[in-house]
Amino acid sequence: MLRDRTAIVGIGQTRFAKHLEESEKALACRAVLAALDDAGIEPHEVDALASYTMEETDEVELAKAIGAGDVTFFSRIGFGGGGSCATVAHLAMAVATGQAGVGVAWRSRKRGSGRRPWTNTVQQLPTPAQWTRPFGLLRPADEIGMLARRYMHEFGATRDHLFNVALACRNRANQNPDAIMYERPLTREMYMDARWISEPLCLYDNCLETDGALACVVVSAERARDCRHRPVYVHSAAQGLPAQHHGMVNYWNDDPLTGPAWTAARQLWKTADFGPEDVDVAQIYDAFTPLIPLSLEGYGFCGRGEGAAFTEGGALELGGRLPINTGGGGLSEGYVHGFNLINEGVKQLRGASTAQVPDAATCLVTAGEGVPTSALLLRG
Amino acid sequence: MDTMTAEGLLLPWPDDDGEPFWEHARRGELRIQACADCGRLRFPPRPCCPQCGSFDDEWRLMSGRGRLWSYVVAHPPLLPAYAELAPYPVALVELEEDPRIRLVGTLTNSVRRPGAPWNAVPPGRLRIGAPVQAVFQVLTPEVTVVRWALCSG
């Protein structure tokens, strides 16, 4: 069992912006060095690396630039934002099994100033895109919009429920000076009048397009006690690729609305000492607002079809039943493939968030839902 | 093979498993891969049956009847050729023979108009569960695509 045998002891990030001048590689190095400095660990002690398959700065480039030592474990996780939590999970496994001692996970992305991935038509055409792209279903927003419309139809979810999600994230961003939307409040009127992207999803149902990088440092629980900050333990971790799952176009099984969250959740709770009712705060992957109700169901905070109703009455706000995305999330802090959700989870359990949940001791962090995913339960 | 129409719309780029689907579509037939041993339909096509493991397959003729399972209406930002057509609805249709087999496609307002513009059906007319019928639009000498005609009444 992984249970509390490893801990996150350092977090680092660059500024978030629509456009940053530096290269993705330089941003990656800055985030990693900041995380190591936060931990009080020298770069030459790093012997494990983990990132996303979509990360452009590879292990060789990163290790030689930051001055890492001999690296004995390195791992990449696929499926875009679905891999975020798995980077920490793989490092935790490597450290817990003695493959390495100091692990660094990172993600650097110039998604704000770079090209939108879906505009690369050559890369997008082979399977399964042969079944979707020729018909104008071009973007992740279209693919998730299709599931969102069905979800609204089956369970009576409305745009107001999706607004509840967008608003909670925006309100937390308004408390976070590092968030892109720090000084930009959102109103219901703005949301309802916003331009469509892919009906039923409007502009505010979509995450930001951000340049930025983040990193964190994983060591054994023993070593964690000697680091600068209070350790944040990796209590349990899971990946999730459900039977007969098809990626973001998960249209070809019995129930497309029961996504990878359900698979990851079963494993996550099976190896944890506590359950959903004991989670103080959650960082839930929010590339699109409908992923929140779907994830709330998958991770067991409510029953199937109840995720939209769960958002009512300020449940996702500070002081609500389950405060989420307390840095602003992908919707309003910055979209860096979900890595900012990991670091925000650590801040909460250190008691250092800009939107601190009083006495937060447990935090769920999730990765991209709708694609093969991963999740972490963190404990303070 | 071309990857785009003259207007700049993406053409399907079949993989080995998908090629038979597009061959049948060229002949005006909607056929779905099925296991030749246990008979189970599967989509998207793949080398072997996830139910029984058999590598023997057959391509079974479908009626072309289905129902709207869901739809979106796409607005810009889109690739330039698509932005010109926007807003346009895109449907996800469950087949009568097996509701787990759902095909993405654009809509037309009549079985007699396979080449109708993408926005021929006003989004306000769309309802989940509405019956639709497959029609075949010849895009290029090599590529025919399946579209869905909204059945009246």
The DSSP-derived string for A309-368 is: HHTGGGTTSTTSSS-B-TT-HHHHT--STTHHHHHHHHHHHHT--TTPPTT--EEEEE--
Q: Chain A partners of B123 at a C-beta cutoff of 8 Å?
A: 199
Which pLDDT score, from 0 to 100, does residue B13 have?
A: 86
Q: Give pLDDT tens digits for A232-278.
A: 999 999 999 999 999 999 999 999 999 999 999 999 999 999 999 99
Distance CA B67, CA B148 (A): 10
Distance CA A2, CA A84 (A): 18
Give the tokens for residue B121.
């059906």
| Residue B7 included in any domain | no
Q: How many domains does chain A have?
A: 1
Q: Are residues B102 and B139 in the same domain?
A: yes
Q: Chain B partners of A139 at a C-beta cutoff of 8 Å?
A: 74, 78
Range of the domain at B39: 14-61
Q: Chain B partners of A130 at a C-beta cutoff of 8 Å?
A: 12-15, 18, 22
Radius of gyration of chain B (CA): 16
Work out the number of other CB atoms within 10 angstroms of the CB of residue B152. 8
Q: How many domains does chain B have?
A: 2
**Residue B8 backbone dihedrals phi, psi, to 5 degrees:** 95, 15
Tell me the CA distances in angstroms from A56 to A106, A108, A289, one per residue in order. Answer: 11, 8, 27
Residue B111 identity: V
Q: Are residues B114 and B146 in the same domain?
A: yes
Beta-ladder partners of B73: A199, B89
Contact B145/A134, CB-based, under 8 Å? yes
Q: Is the pLDDT of residue B2 over 80?
A: no
Tokens 């299709």 belong to: A146
Which of A115, A118, A120, A135 is the mutation pick for testing B, counting most B CBs within 10 A? A135
Which pLDDT score, from 0 to 100, does residue A323 have?
A: 98
Q: Chain A partners of B90 at a C-beta cutoff of 8 Å?
A: 135-137, 142, 146
Contact A125/B10, CB-based, under 8 Å? yes
| Residue A11 included in any domain | yes
Picking from B74, B118, B128, the nearest residue to A150 by CB comes out as B128
Q: Does B3 touch chain A (CB under 8 A)?
A: yes
Tokens 């419309």 belong to: A149
Which pLDDT score, from 0 to 100, does residue B4 have?
A: 87
Distance CA B124, CA A331 (A): 29
CATH code of the domain containing B26: 2.20.28
In sign, the C-alpha dihedral spanning A261, A262, A263, A269 is positive
Distance CA B134, CA B131 (A): 10
Q: Are residues B110 and B55 in the same domain?
A: no
Picking from A119, A128, A149, the nearest residue to B72 by CB comes out as A149
Q: Is the pLDDT of residue A165 over 80?
A: yes
List the single residue in B with minimal CA-CA distance to A151: B70
CATH code of the domain containing A279: 3.40.47.10
| Residue A142 included in any domain | no
Q: Give pLDDT tens digits for B79-126.
A: 999 999 999 999 999 999 999 999 999 999 999 999 999 999 999 999
| Residue A137 included in any domain | no
List the single residue in B with minimal CA-CA distance to A195: B75
Contact B90, B60 (CB under 8 A): no
| Residue B8 included in any domain | no
- Provide, for chain A, the percentages of residues in helix, strand and coil under a 3-state DSSP scheme, each rounded to the nearest 5: 40, 20, 45
State mean pLDDT over A86-91: 98
State mean pLDDT over A8-36: 98
| Residue B1 included in any domain | no
Contact A293, A161 (CB under 8 A): yes
Q: Element (H or E) spanning A188, and its range?
A: helix A188-193
Beta-ladder partners of B144: B138
Please list, residue by residue across B54-91, b when 16 or more beta carbons sit within 10 angstroms of its beta carbon and e when fewer do.
eeebebbebebebbbbbbbbbbeebbeebeebbbbbbb
Q: Are residues B34 and B109 in the same domain?
A: no
Residue closest to A341 by CA, chosen among A177, A191, A172? A172
Per-residue DSSP letter, A17:
B
Q: Chain A partners of B144 at a C-beta cutoff of 8 Å?
A: none
Mean pLDDT score across all residues of chain A: 96
3-state secondary structure of B96: coil
Q: Chain A partners of B12 at a C-beta cutoff of 8 Å?
A: 125, 130-131, 133-134
Per-residue DSSP letter, A144:
H
| Residue B19 included in any domain | yes
Q: Give pLDDT tens digits for A278-332.
A: 999 999 999 999 999 999 999 999 999 999 999 999 999 999 999 999 999 999 9
**Greatest alpha-carbon span in chain A:** 57
- Of all residues in chain A, what percent carry a pLDDT higher than 90? 94
| Residue A102 included in any domain | yes
Q: Are residues B120 and B87 in the same domain?
A: yes
Q: Are residues B40 and B114 in the same domain?
A: no
Which pLDDT score, from 0 to 100, does residue A18 have?
A: 96
Which pLDDT score, from 0 to 100, does residue A127 have?
A: 58
Contact B3/A142, CB-based, under 8 Å? no
| Tally of residues, chain B | 153
Picking from B13, B17, B92, the nearest residue to A125 by CB comes out as B13
Q: Does A255 touch chain B (CB under 8 A)?
A: no
Range of the domain at A372: 6-114+208-379
Which pLDDT score, from 0 to 100, does residue A124 have?
A: 54
Which pLDDT score, from 0 to 100, does residue A163 have?
A: 98
Least Cα separation, residue A145 to chain B (angstroms): 6
Contact B128/A136, CB-based, under 8 Å? no
Contact B72/A133, CB-based, under 8 Å? no
Contact B44/A131, CB-based, under 8 Å? yes
Residue closest to A344 by CA, chosen among A175, A95, A219? A175
Contact A211, A201 (CB under 8 A): no
User: Please, which pLDDT band fits residue B152 given cuts at 50, 70 and 90?
Assistant: confident
CATH code of the domain containing B130: 2.40.50
| Residue A240 included in any domain | yes
Q: Are residues B48 and B83 in the same domain?
A: no
Q: Is the pLDDT of residue A122 over 70?
A: no
State mean pLDDT over A326-340: 98
Which pLDDT score, from 0 to 100, does residue B63 have?
A: 98
Q: Does B78 touch chain A (CB under 8 A)?
A: yes
Q: Are residues B104 and B80 in the same domain?
A: yes
Compute the CA torsion angle A126, A128, A132, A134 (nearest 10 deg): 20
Question: Model pTM?
Answer: 0.97
**Cα of A246 vs its chain's centroid, Å:** 20
Contact B3/A125, CB-based, under 8 Å? yes
Which pLDDT score, from 0 to 100, does residue A196 have?
A: 98
Contact A252/B101, CB-based, under 8 Å? yes
| Residue B2 included in any domain | no
Q: Are residues B55 and B82 in the same domain?
A: no
| Residue A340 included in any domain | yes
Q: Is the pLDDT of residue A126 over 60?
A: no
State mean pLDDT over B131-151: 96
Q: Is the pLDDT of residue A64 over 90?
A: yes
Q: Are residues B148 and B78 in the same domain?
A: yes
| Residue A311 included in any domain | yes
| Residue B6 included in any domain | no
Which pLDDT score, from 0 to 100, does residue B3 have?
A: 82
Contact A222, A169 (CB under 8 A): no
Q: Element (H or E) spanning B102, and its range?
A: strand B98-108
Give the tokens for residue A203.
């502009």
Q: Are residues B75 and B110 in the same domain?
A: yes
Q: Is the pLDDT of residue A43 over 60?
A: yes
A278, burial (CB in 10 Å: exposed 0-12, middle 13-18, buried 19+): exposed
Q: Are residues B138 and B85 in the same domain?
A: yes
**A59-66 vs A24-39: helix crossing angle, rounded to 10:** 50
Q: Which of residues 115-174 of A touch B (CB under 8 A)?
A: 116, 119, 121-122, 124-139, 142, 145-147, 149-150, 153
Tokens 């925000």 belong to: A344
Q: Catalytic residue at A335?
A: yes
List the single residue in A with minimal CA-CA distance to B50: A244
Q: Give pLDDT tens digits for B19-39.
A: 999 999 999 999 999 999 999
Selected catalytic residue, list A52, A151, A233, A285: A285
Work out the number of other CB atoms within 10 angstroms of the CB of residue A307. 26
Q: Is the pLDDT of residue B71 over 80?
A: yes
| Residue A173 included in any domain | no
